[in-house]
Amino acid sequence: METLGLGNAIALIGAAMAVFLAGGGSAIGIGIAGRSAAGVLTELPERYGLNFIMVVLPGTQGFYGFLGGFMILQNMGIIGEAGAVELSWQQGLMALAACLPIAMTGLISAIHQGKVCASGIMMAAKRPEMAFKAGVVYAVMVEVYAVLGLLITIFMIGSIDWDSVRVAVAG
């Protein structure tokens, strides 16, 4: 049985953090918005479609975290046909650091987006014509920061010289 090197373990912790923190934030955010939607739907069931959009919006951060974690696993050769690489502890730290932007922005923005969506759901219960103008647009403004975190994660993962790692393992 092969042992897991320190660099690989550190990189895997980074991938796990991206997935778990962003996904956890999404679960919390969806829960917050979902409670508001359920309350509104008891009185106004015809607002289901409008509320659905605002309930699922905080879920996008979980997908962003999954993408960041997936990119690390793919570049490590755990997923795909490239073959596994052995990372130094420094490269493992680089991979961990690359996962932090989406892990943290995903966690924080999903929770706050859930709160904004909950407010939008409550506002749309009384003024449905304002649902998109205020509810969805305000929620998307929070989303921008998760997208920025994802972009930085992608750029940082791309800056790691994965090919030299493969050459070092092969040769």
pLDDT tens digits along 60-90: 999 999 999 999 999 998 887 767 788 999 9
pLDDT tens digits along 102-132: 999 999 999 999 999 999 999 888 888 877 7
Q: DSSP string spanning the chain?
A: -PPPPHHHHHHHHHHHHHHHHHHHHHHHHHHHHHHHHHHHHHH-GGGHHHHHHHHHGGGHHHHHHHHHHHHHHHHHTSSSSS------HHHHHHHHHHHHHHHHHHHHHHHHHHHHHHHHHHHHHH-GGGIIIIIIHHHHHHHHHHHHHHHHHHHHHHHS-HHHHHHHHH-
How many domains does the chain fold into?
A: 1
Q: 169 lies in a domain?
A: no
Q: Above 60 in pLDDT, residue 168?
A: no
Q: Return the CATH number at 76.
A: 1.20.120.610
Q: Which domain holds residue 114?
A: 6-164
pLDDT confidence of residue 1? 36
Q: 97 lies in a domain?
A: yes
